[in-house]
Chains A and B, each alone.
Chain A
Amino acid sequence: MRHVTSLRIGPMGFRIGSDWRAPIAALDDLYRDYPKPDGGIPDFNVHLFAARPWRRFIRPSVHIAGDFVIPDAAPLPLEMGLLAAEMGMNLQMALGQRRYLLLHASAVERDGKALLMTGISGAGKSTLAALLMARGWRLMGDEFALVDPATGLIHGFPRLISLKNEALPVVQAALPGARFGEIMEGTPKGTLRHLVPDARAIAAMAEPASPELILFPSFGFAAEEREVLPSEAFVRLTQASTNYMSLGERGFDALTGLVKAVPAHAIDYPDTDTAIAQVERLWGTR
């Protein structure tokens, strides 16, 4: 591959190769404070490539592949090269992760204890994680939380935070001094901008935390809360995991261990101020 970079996010190392300079330059800029893969050996490789040689130049379109691929993954225009790289890394995690049980969840930490938030796209996982980071929580990740089957501890995956549409102005106002990527309009998920996690999140990225509370937030409803029983939490988290099936018994043990030990609540919220107040109160009374 013509252009290459490598980086580590939480415990996972990546090598990203690209036919174009721009996506690698964007990664090198936004991930400049991140460490390199352990021992220089990445866990996963991502390829950003042109399907035909001339498509490097004429209507350049970025195909995403790597160690693990899905057939028919839609390519992205070169302006969205950074998004393609992020999607490539997410894809490797979703398809190839076998060390940890992978939960599609955001995670923040306080006093060595982790709060997990999971829900469908648009539920506010990333937004709430970014706002809690602004209030002094340690960001562990806005997309994936990794459960170690051996210890039950949560490992973070603090990649760039992916902010979409109406969440953008809210988070920009809460974090005026933060570093952001370019604004990308018209992506498959609408307007999108990446936020660089703060220095503390990056410095402590390798430190696991013990899970303490699981929340299932839903945005766009009147404020409400209810307790979620372990049985329901178990089923919802199997659906939120991409590798539960492929881990077999290890996955089952990790997930049943998690839902038995950690209380869970569903929270509906009409706006982020309400949600933050709900989160802080549930954290205080857990």
Chain B
Amino acid sequence: MGNAVSAAILTRALRDPASTAGLDANGWTTLLAIARAEQLIGTLAHRLDGLPMPQAAARILADARASAEQGRVAALWEAEMARRALAPLGMPLVLLKGTAFVAAGLSAGMGRHIGDLDILVPRERIGEAEAALLVAGWEWVKPDPYDDAYYRRWMHELPPLIHRERDRMIDVHHTILPLTARIRPDAEGLIADSLPLENNLRILNPNDMLCHAAAHLFADGDLAGGLRNLWDIHCLIAEFGTAGLEARAAHHGLSSAVARAARQANHHYGTPIPESWRVWDSMDPLFARRLLARDGWGRQTRKLTRFAFYLRSHQLRMPPLMLARHLYTKWRKGHVPG
């Protein structure tokens, strides 16, 4: 296992860019394929910018930088479109994840791939927000009544909306974890303590950004694409430190997720964390293994580990009976996990 190909080649390059000097053509091929699969190639391109490397690799990474820059412009434009649509309502509009990082110029945004626009609004006003977005040209994507009803009753966000002209998705959140999860972060606190940007858009305060990233990675989902989330966590800790983080995480009920996020970031990326946080946890090696499960083509490996995390993600999300009913409905509709 020790010398098998894994995404460790990518975490090593991100952690210590100069280490890529030792890569041969196969090493570069593997590194680039895995970086693409983890949607970290733009981040890698920024980390390695200016270092000596083979010309072919330099060209590919230059493309990735240009592509990420265009992605940044498009993401900011999308945020501006949402701001204009919701401005008449006068409600606080908090940007989340990638768009927030680039809007605030944080290091986590450097080269970051940004897919959908994620925003947070007060729960009691989410109906108004949805109506305003529909008027402004966004449309429902989920044609399935079960999915739609599921989102509205149990999720932490509206069913995804897509803009009919720009073909971009928006996820409108009212909190950061599904309502079915046992953990209930303080959504009102997230908005109350958010910080304004110049254009009236808002971002979470840094400790809440970290709580959100950790919740997303370890208290929700099956860790697919987790190295990118973990890189966000690494950058946020490196940029803002950990002062007050423990208390804030406890306030949201996310102590364990945040502690695990910090340990994993430290393990994979060398993130500076307080000595007292570096405790031994029997599950950490399994998480590390899951995060690195890629072959030399960027394909997912370790099917069994992944399946275990798939089950875990659902168990975190909902109580057993509800889970059984949900999986049965999905299975009848032909959904296959993994």
A residues neighboring B (CB under 8 Å): 1, 13, 15, 17, 37-43, 45, 47, 67, 98-99, 246-250
Contact = CB atoms under 8 A, between A and B. Distances in A.
A41 B63 contact: no
Interface in B184-206: none
A1 B5 CA distance: 13
Nearest to B31: A41
Residue from the set B57, B63, B64 with the largest chain A CB neighbour count within 10 Å: B63
For the complex of A and B, the 4 pairs showing the least CB-CB separation, nearest first, are: A40-B25, A41-B56, A39-B56, A248-B70
B73 interface: yes
Nearest to A37: B56
Contact of A98 (B67, B74, B297): B67
A13 to B, nearest CB: 7
Residue from the set A13, A45, A99 with the largest chain B CB neighbour count within 10 Å: A45
A24 to B, nearest CB: 14
Interface string B66-81: 1100100110000000
Nearest to B68: A98
Interface string B3-46: 00000000000000000000011101100110011000000000
B299 A47 contact: yes
B282 interface: no
The SS class assigned to the A binding surface is: mixed
Interface of B: 24-26, 28-29, 32-33, 36-37, 54-57, 59-60, 62-64, 66-67, 70, 73-74, 297-299
11 contacts: A37-B56, A41-B25, A41-B28, A41-B54, A43-B60, A45-B29, A45-B33, A98-B66, A99-B59, A248-B70, A249-B70
A67 B36 contact: yes
Nearest to A99: B63
A37 B33 CA distance: 15
Nearest to A38: B56
Contacts of A37: 56
Contacts of B298: 45, 67
B26 A98 contact: no
The SS class assigned to the B binding surface is: helix
A47 B36 CA distance: 14
A55 to B, nearest CB: 15
Contacts of A41: 25, 28-29, 32, 54, 56-57, 60
A250 B69 CA distance: 11
A46 B59 CA distance: 19
B26 to A, nearest CB: 7
Contacts of B33: 45, 67
Contact of A39 (B36, B54, B66, B299): B54
A31 to B, nearest CB: 18
A99 B56 CA distance: 12
Contacts of A98: 63-64, 66-67
A131 to B, nearest CB: 34
A40 B297 contact: no
A13 B56 contact: yes
A41 B54 CA distance: 9
Nearest to B26: A40
A249 B74 CA distance: 11
Given A39-B54, A41-B56, A45-B298, A67 B25 contact: no
Given A67-B33, A67-B36, A45 B67 contact: no
A141 to B, nearest CB: 19
A47 B296 CA distance: 12
Contacts of A17: 297
A1 B32 CA distance: 17
Given A38-B56, A41-B54, A246 B29 contact: no
Given A13-B56, A41-B56, A45-B298, A248 B29 contact: no
A250 B66 contact: yes
Contact of B29 (A15, A99, A247): A15
Contacts of A248: 70, 73-74
Contacts of A15: 29
Given A45-B33, A45-B297, 18 more contacts: A1-B297, A13-B56, A37-B56, A38-B56, A39-B25, A39-B56, A39-B57, A40-B25, A40-B29, A41-B28, A41-B60, A45-B29, A98-B67, A99-B62, A246-B67, A248-B70, A248-B74, A249-B70
Contacts of B57: 39, 41
Given A47-B297, A246-B70, A67 B29 contact: no
A247 B25 CA distance: 28
Contacts of B299: 47
Contacts of B63: 98-99
A99 B59 CA distance: 8
Contacts of B66: 98, 250
